[in-house]
Structure 1
Amino acid sequence: MTSVQAPLEKADAFGPLKRFVSRRASWIPVFAALALLILIFIAGQAYFGNFLTPRVISALLLDNAYLFILAVGMTFVILTGGIDLSVGAVMAFTGMFGASLLRDGVPSGIVVPVMLLLGAAFGLAIGVLVQYFDVQPFIASLAAMFAARGLAFMVSLDSIKVETPEILWLQSTRIQGAPGSFYITPTGIIALLVVLVAALVLAYTRFGRTIYAIGGNEQSARLMGLPVVRSKLLAYVVSGVCAGLAGVVFTAYTGASYPLNGMGTELDTIAAVVIGGTLLLGGSGFVVGSMIGVFVYGTIKTAISFMGADQSWTRISVGLLLLLFVVVQRIIVARSDRR
């Protein structure tokens, strides 16, 4: 009798853990991304000796603030089962248009809202094509990408330097304690606030719950009486607004705008969101995970810079990680379907 009870007791000991994993399966990729980030930090510190310094950690947020913002908007879209390939081009166009207005003397208090509205207009256009004309999100956002990039070149073929103090202040100002300690810039604060607001919206609002429901099963969401059409449109509008805001932040970061800014950024954004645990099929994922995914991307890029290697290795590394996390997602989805 005792020999039979021992295995049962052992199984019961792991029962709570198994129940937690089954109920929180959507968090597994997020924890995996967090574990990967910690592993990269440890390996970088062991190899370089000066990797985990306040300057390097602060620069991760400073250099990738625009990518955090883009990843937030992309998370909303991918959660619905869609995709937005236009974010990099929209960021470039809004940056070029805003820089041209600033050059002509238009106040920044007018320019920034205009940039956000332009981003929202692109997002709304994609949403309308997807929802009302039954165009695949890939095609609709690809068309918007070409349109935005073309408009960026129409504004100017050359770089436009930004000298407006209010815009440059967003990047040049460093909020720091003791010398040599961690610091943050207004662009970093904006990025963190966008992440926080988006996380709260997805977790605690009807709009957020509808986004998850659409990605899980759009037909079921309609039968439940949820505002599917409005929510899908808003998801793309959120992505567009984030692209416009990223245009502001990136313009402040570089001090200028160029039509070729953001080339390939949409792929970096999608990779960061997927590495952070958001399912490409939709219905599962978290903004916090996307933030971790951006940190993973930025840390890999920094480590390769420390090594003095070509930045093409960043693409290779992120591509391999993306493949790995997509495979992990497929395994999780398959297990969920079996259950």
Structure 2
Amino acid sequence: MTAMATGTGTRAAGPSFLQTFVSRHGSMMPTFAAVAILLVLFVGAEIFLRGDFITPRNISALLLDNAYLLVLAVGMTFVILTGGIDLSVGSVMAFSGILGARLLAEGTPAFVAVPAMLLGGAAIGLMIGILVQYFNVQPFIASLAGLFLGRGLAYVVSLSSIKVEEPGILWLQSTRIRLGDWYITPTGLIALGAVAIAAFVLHLTRFGRTIYAIGGSEQSARLMGLRTARAKVMAYVISGLCGGLAGLVLTAYSGAGYPRNGIGTELDAIAAVVIGGTILTGGRGYVIGSMIGVFVYGTIKTIISFMGAEQSWMQIIVGALLLLFIVVQRAIVARSEGRR
């Protein structure tokens, strides 16, 4: 009788495929949401603009125009995964850009100027990492100090714009690698290469696993024997290095270095990373998601430009998306804490 009752409908229904998928991949839901929003933006813009938006030229330009922001978002992902924040990246980008432009204008070879740009950014990141890890300074305050330092150093190098005439630097932006009507520039390849390297490091190396462990619980990671101190400092060094690399990309893009470049760009990078699904409290997120977040940000900016609307709508829309994704993140964190 018991067996018959079980077979005739008293058996509890198992979880649906959707419930199982969400349960196993809960941390990826914000990233999937970002992909969905990106698709909705594409389809909506295509309908509203009557077939003039989704073209090879516009899609190719999306990476071209946002390559520097994508590089910044890669570095920011490392820092946010540890539970930190880096407000210095915009200033680091400006400093490295104007430094490289000044060196090139004085006749310094590109193979010397470019490493100097990268090392300058990494040095500021190292300073912030040391303040956070060894002096227990809050990441917000430490990176704010880095912001002022980077911007001040940029003004020390030059108060005005410096044009870049080095063919090797300009080649990074002027070259078009074409496949039919599609194209990509070396700056785009640099940005995609940064994403690929970061994804490999975060998911397939011990260092990457340590970064995630720090964001999950730094004390537990330390008790497991992981080198948390070195990894946390390196996260800020990587962010600073990406700031220097973004300075190179932006200098090639604009053809000049300018000490006021990147004001507020650190907020754009943080927004892109959060929209891409990285949890602000650390421990969860994907660099691929950060790339999607950059594309969402760039697509909104392009749509607003097509419509001829005021740029204030850019901040309004991104602010609304941030609120949405923070609520989603809190729901995911609350759900996971409820399972413990």
**TM-score interval (norm. to shorter):** over 0.9
Output one character per residue of 1:32-89: Cα deviation in whole Å (capped at 9) or x when no partner: 0000000000000000021100010000000000011000000000000000000000
1-side partners of 2:8 and 2:318: how far apart? Answer: 48
1:17 Cα offset (Å):
3.5
Alignment of 1:262-281 (within 5 A): 262-281=262-281
2-side partners of 1:70 and 1:132: how far apart? Answer: 25
1:261 maps to 261
Q: 1:80 aligns with which of 71, 79, 82?
A: 82
Amino acid aligned to 2:19: K
2-side partners of 1:277 and 1:269: how far apart? Answer: 13
2-side partners of 1:212 and 1:7: how far apart? Answer: 43
Query: What is the root-mean-square deviation in Å for CA atoms of aligned residues?
Result: 1.4
Alignment of 1:179-258 (within 5 A): 181-258=181-258
Amino acid aligned to 1:172: S
1-side partners of 2:280 and 2:7: how far apart? Answer: 45
The question of 1:116 aligning with 2:123 is answered no
Change (3 A) 1:5 1:293: farther
1:2 Cα offset (Å):
7.7
Change (3 A) 1:46 1:234: same
1-side partners of 2:191 and 2:157: how far apart? Answer: 27
Amino acid aligned to 2:295: F
1:89 maps to 91
Q: 1:57 aligns with which of 59, 81, 88?
A: 59
1:177 Cα offset (Å):
2.4
Structure 1: give runs of 5+ residues left out of the alignment: none
2:37 maps to 36
Classify the secondary structure of the residue corresponding to 1:176.
strand
1-side partners of 2:152 and 2:224: how far apart? Answer: 41
2-side partners of 1:265 and 1:5: how far apart? Answer: 62
2:322 maps to 322
Structure 2: give runs of 5+ residues left out of the alignment: none
1:12 Cα offset (Å):
2.2
Which is further off, 69-78 or 21-30? 21-30
2:26 maps to 25
Change (3 A) 1:335 1:98: same
1:6 Cα offset (Å):
5.0
2-side partners of 1:51 and 1:218: how far apart? Answer: 46
Amino acid aligned to 2:83: G
2-side partners of 1:4 and 1:324: how far apart? Answer: 44
Structure 1 runs, 4 residues or longer, greater than 3 Å off: 1-9
1:4 Cα offset (Å):
8.4
Output one character per residue of 1:195-246: Cα deviation in whole Å (capped at 9) or x when no partner: 0010011000000000000000000000000000000011000000000000
Amino acid aligned to 1:126: I
1-side partners of 2:33 and 2:72: how far apart? Answer: 22
Query: What TM-score comes out, normalization by structure 2 length?
Result: 0.96
Classify the secondary structure of the residue corresponding to 1:183.
strand
2-side partners of 1:6 and 1:13: how far apart? Answer: 15
Output one character per residue of 1:252-294: Cα deviation in whole Å (capped at 9) or x when no partner: 0000111110010000000000000000000000000000000
Identity of aligned residues (%): 68
